[in-house]
Amino acid sequence: MTSQTIVPKRMLGKSGIALSIVGLGTVKFGRVTGVKYPGVSSIPTDAEAGALLDAAERLEINLIDTAPAYGDSEERLGRLLQGRTHPWFIVTKAGEAWDGSSSSFDFSESAVSGSIDRSLDRLRVAELGCVLLHSDGHAEVEPEAFRGAIRALARAKTSGRVRAIGASVKSFEGAIRAFEWADVLMIELGGTPAMELVSERAAQLGIGILLKKTLASGHLDAIGPSPIVNAMTRAFRVPGVCSAIVGTTNIAHLRENCEAAVQATDEVAKGLSGERAGTEKGA
């Protein structure tokens, strides 16, 4: 990728917010235990994380994803983003806490409200871009479990502390239930077409779709040949996808991911992605 190349933006549902088609995921900024990545042993230093942010800014990435459950990712971002003029759109979460060895979940109104306040403090901003319920996979399919959490999110949005609200879900049913109230859903496409249908329907409803785990959390052999290009092509062939949030601490990987996403969206726009995938399958 040349230094002139920029990552294009897409609208996040009907929110009026334009986000880069690649976002930076920051689990590895704050946490190395209890994660499924291959070979993670240390978190980047401030200098390394700062250089990654510089590279992301040069690529015109404006989407960054964090969570209270990602160790000290929020605190570090608060420190590292301070003083920058780049218009970062910060997505964080609420409902899951990480104590250094295990996660706990609380989707009560008071817990989610308190979590939003702490995220504002840690990230050192007056307004968060988006807060998503950090689902455990169970509460999202229980009819009442998110009721208090949704009240807290809606109040934060009305009071100007959060621009968009939603959920990071783990299931088709959880996504469908969130259609009733969410501005944004974070989903993993996974191996079945079900989540592709979620994205397509979300687009019709004006709900923004962010993808997580686009690169199978780094298990590239599970994706197959040309994994980065193929994963991005799969992602951007799906109607309704705004952005793929990819976790990386490596500047070369970040550039490669952006290049693949730009190539994928170009090919999808030209109707070439099916041909290329077919060619590779037959090769």
**Least Cβ distance, residue 271 to ligand NAP (angstroms):** 26
User: How many Cα atoms occupy the beta-carbon half-sphere of 42 within 13 Å?
Assistant: 5
* CB neighbour burial string for 37-48, b if at least 16 within 10 angstroms, e if fewer: eeeeeebbeeee
Tell me which residue of 105, 97, 157, 150 sits closest to 128, measured CA to CA. 157
Q: How far is the CB of 58 from ligand NAP (least distance, A)?
A: 17
Which one, 109 or 256, has the nearer CB to ligand NAP?
Answer: 256
Least CB distance from residue 66 to ligand NAP, whole Å?
Answer: 7
Judged by beta carbon, residue 71 or residue 218, the one nearer ligand NAP is 218
The residue (of 34 and 278) whose beta carbon lies closer to ligand NAP is 34
Distance in angstroms (rounded) separating the CA atoms of residues 195 and 187: 7
Closest contact distance (angstroms) between CB of 131 and ligand NAP is: 11
Residues of this chain that bind ligand NAP (CB under 6 A): 25-28, 37, 65, 93, 134, 168, 186, 212-218, 220, 228, 245-250, 253, 256-257
Distance from C-alpha of 276 to C-alpha of 253, rounded to nearest angstrom: 22
For ligand NAP, the closer CB: 64 or 152: 64
**Minimum CB distance to ligand NAP smaller for 85 or for 89:** 89
How many beta carbons lie within 10 A of that of residue 6, not counting itself? 14
E strands, the chain, in order: 9-11, 18-20, 22-25, 63-65, 89-94, 96-98, 103-105, 128-134, 162-168, 184-187, 208-211, 241-247
The distance of Cα 151 from the centroid of its chain, to the nearest Å, equals 23
Q: How far is the CB of 53 from ligand NAP (least distance, A)?
A: 14
Which C-beta is closer to ligand NAP: that of 113 or that of 168?
Answer: 168
Query: Residue 251 — φ and ψ, nearest 5°?
Result: -65, -40
